[in-house]
Structures are given as structure tokens and as C-alpha cells.
Amino acid sequence: MPQDFPAEPWELIRFNPFEAGHRFDYTRCILTGLPIDPTKDLRPVFPGTWFERAGLQPGHRLQLVDGSSLDYRELRLPLHPACWEGGVDEVARKCAELFASGIETLGWIRTERIYQWICWLFIGVLYAEMNALSDQEDAHPAWRDSSFLNRYRMIHLSLQGAVFPLQYLGYDPGSVFILPLEGDRKGFDFKSSSNTQSLSLRVGESLILASLGDNGAHMAFFEDEFLSYRHQTLRPLQGDEIFARMCYRNHLLNPVFEYGIGFGDAEDATTYIRMQIPPELAGEEAFGPWSDLEYATVLDQYLRPHGVEPLKTFQESGELITFLEPRNGS
């Protein structure tokens, strides 16, 4: 734990950037709200060594939710030096380097570190989106509504766990699947859906798909499906189809969860998080009704770059395109 903060750790972890009044202007630490020096405390979301290894050329850009784009090299997060030295460096740099070396190397690092790294990537994109939207008068009002933005608080809290002691009581905050992929060893693809809190990352022959903030729902309901993919070598198109399913399922996820957060104190600095479903909602379905038309629309977004038009096919024939092998019970 870092020792040079100007406040106690159990006080700093209470910082929530999604509360009203916080500005995403790169002047305050994303984890603590403490002032930072923008000339030296903006940390790259993707490590510089990746750009050559993954074949990323200058000008390779990430599309943001407002329609603008950003060079991957410009994707940065404001971070207090004590946060970087106190755990985020290990997460942002070491996990990235291990993943770039192949999925088998991720066994060398703790599972919670992998999840924190994915939260780092997601928050990195979300921060850039919030910054881009901050001065746009025509931005959707939801992006200025703290009650809407607080949907990202639990992901942010998971990232704070890279620096401050944090423990989940009896549940997993999200679902992460690491799959083998065929293709160019220098291949790179990154997708982050702020609306569905989903993330896909491909580097070479490794693919990570993550459902952030689903409280382990994908693991609980679809674990067998994802396990079957681990015994295949997927094509990039198939990886994108699986990601489309994840995004649509997260869109359907029923928000019946309540969280209890017990922040630490001088006797025990650990923050404890408990998740529960209120008794009156215990009988609710985990996911809303599936719509083939809605799913075809989502699938179209991710497969069109491969030259496939799922929405047009569905509108013409009523059939859903799939490139995944049939599985028992599917």
C-alpha cells in the first residue's frame, strides 16, 4: 500500500468521479481525486511496447462514443504517482506484457490483477469519452446525469482495488474469458462498449472478452458455452460474434442488484463489498426477453467489418447468421 498520500487510504477510496461536480479534464487523479501534474502524471492506457509488437502504426485510432476518434498513443489516465507506484504500474504494464506474450502466461499473475487491468482499459476509454463529451452542448443528457454515470462506479471501485485493499464477499464483480485465436501474431483489435460495459481485446493469437459489472452472470449462466470455445481455435470473425452476444446479453441483464459497501477505517483499512438481490426481486429473471431482431442489429455492428450483413439477412429471410459451431443445448 502506498505510504505517501496526503490522506488516509480508507478516505481516498471513497472518491467517486461519477458524482456531480467532477470534471474529466486530466487535472485530478482518476482513483483519488487528488491534484496531479498533467505534464508528467498522465499514464498511457496501453504500454508503449505494445505498439510495435501488435503492429499498431502511428495514426491507428480508437472510435469514441461521440463519433470522434483518438490515437491509441494519446489514450491516457491522470494518476497520482503514489497510485502508479502502489499497484497500478503492475496492473497496467505487467498484465499487458504477459497477455501480449500469450494467454498461457497469464497464469503467472493473480486473477484479480487481470480483472483490474481490464477495468483500467475500460476506464481509460470511458475517461476519454467523458472528456470529449464535456464541452458538447448537444451531448445526451444522460452523460451529465450522476444517477446514470454511477452505473460505472463498481468498475471504478474495482480499479481502486489495485491500490487500496478491497474484498468482494461471496461474489465475482464481472466475467472474464480468455480464448485462443488464430491469425497474425501482430494482429490487434480492441472494442469497448460503454453502454453495455463490455470489452474485447485481441493481441496476436490471444483474445480476452470481459463483461464488467455483471456480478459474474456470464460465468453463472454461460460458463459451459465459453468453455467449449476454449477447446477451439477461433477466427477473429467468430470472436466478434461471441462479443456481440455478450454485449446484447448485457443489454438484457436485469438490474436487480444492490450493493453494500463497507469502507475501511484506522483499525481495518479494507473495503468490503457485498452484493444482494432484494427479496421482492428474487423471482425476477436474470435477463430480459431475447429479440432476434435486436440481436441481429447488434451482430450487424460487429460483423459488417468482416463483409457480413446479419441484419439484412435477417430482414430478408428471418434467419440469424452464425459462424459458431453448434453446441449441445444451444
Cell numbers 493469437 label which residue? Answer: 205
Least confident interval from 110-114, 236-240, 291-295, 311-315: 110-114
CA distances to 88, 165, 171, 215 from 273, rounded to whole Å, are 20, 11, 9, 12
Q: Which residues pair with 259 in a beta bridge?
A: 275
Instruction: List, for residues 50-101, the tens digit of each pLDDT value.
Output: 777 766 666 778 888 888 889 888 999 999 999 999 999 999 988 888 887 7
- Binned at pLDDT 50, 70 and 90, residue 329 comes out as very low
In this prediction, residue 108 carries a pLDDT of 60
Tell me how crowded residue 267 is: count the other CB atoms within 10 A of its CB: 6
The total number of structural domains in the chain stands at: 1
Cell numbers 482499459 label which residue? Answer: 121
CA distances to 96, 102, 109, 206 from 106, rounded to whole Å, are 9, 8, 6, 11
- Binned at pLDDT 50, 70 and 90, residue 105 comes out as low
Kindly provide the b/e burial profile for residues 65-93, where b requires at least 16 CB atoms within 10 angstroms of the residue's own CB.
bbeeebebbebbbbbbbbbbebbbebbbb
In this prediction, residue 39 carries a pLDDT of 95
Q: Is residue 3 part of a domain?
A: no
Instruction: List, for residues 243-262, the tens digit of each pLDDT value.
Output: 999 999 999 999 888 899 99
Quick one: cell of 214? 455483471
Q: How far is it, in rounded angstroms, from Cα 119 to Cα 243?
A: 17
Least confident interval from 39-53, 147-161, 196-210, 267-281: 39-53
Q: Is residue 321 part of a domain?
A: no
Q: How far is it, in rounded angstroms, from Cα 14 to Cα 79?
A: 16
Residue 180 near residue 228, CB atoms below 8 Å: no
Q: Is residue 162 part of a domain?
A: yes
Cell numbers 459497501 label which residue? Answer: 261
Where in the sequence is the domain holding 224, given as residue range(s)?
Answer: 9-289
- Checking if the pLDDT of 187 tops 50, the result is yes
Per DSSP, the three-state class of 191 is strand
Instruction: List, for residues 224-235, the tens digit of each pLDDT value.
Output: 898 888 888 899
Q: Is residue 218 part of a domain?
A: yes
Q: Is residue 57 part of a domain?
A: yes
Q: Is residue 213 part of a domain?
A: yes
Residue 8 near residue 268, CB atoms below 8 Å: no
In this prediction, residue 119 carries a pLDDT of 97
Q: How far is it, in rounded angstroms, from Cα 2 to Cα 34?
A: 14
Residue 299 near residue 310, CB atoms below 8 Å: yes
Long-range contacts of 325-329 (CB under 8 A, 24+ apart): 325/228, 325/232, 327/224, 327/225, 327/228, 329/224
Least confident interval from 85-89, 130-134, 180-184: 180-184
Quick one: cell of 125? 476509454
Which runs of consecutive H residues, i.e. helices, occur in the chain?
A: 9-12, 48-53, 81-83, 89, 95-100, 111-133, 146-149, 153-160, 217-230, 236-252, 292-303, 310-317
Q: Is residue 155 part of a domain?
A: yes
Residue 64 near residue 132, CB atoms below 8 Å: yes
In this prediction, residue 87 carries a pLDDT of 93
Instruction: List, for residues 15-38, the tens digit of each pLDDT value.
Output: 999 998 889 999 999 999 999 999
Q: Is residue 297 part of a domain?
A: no
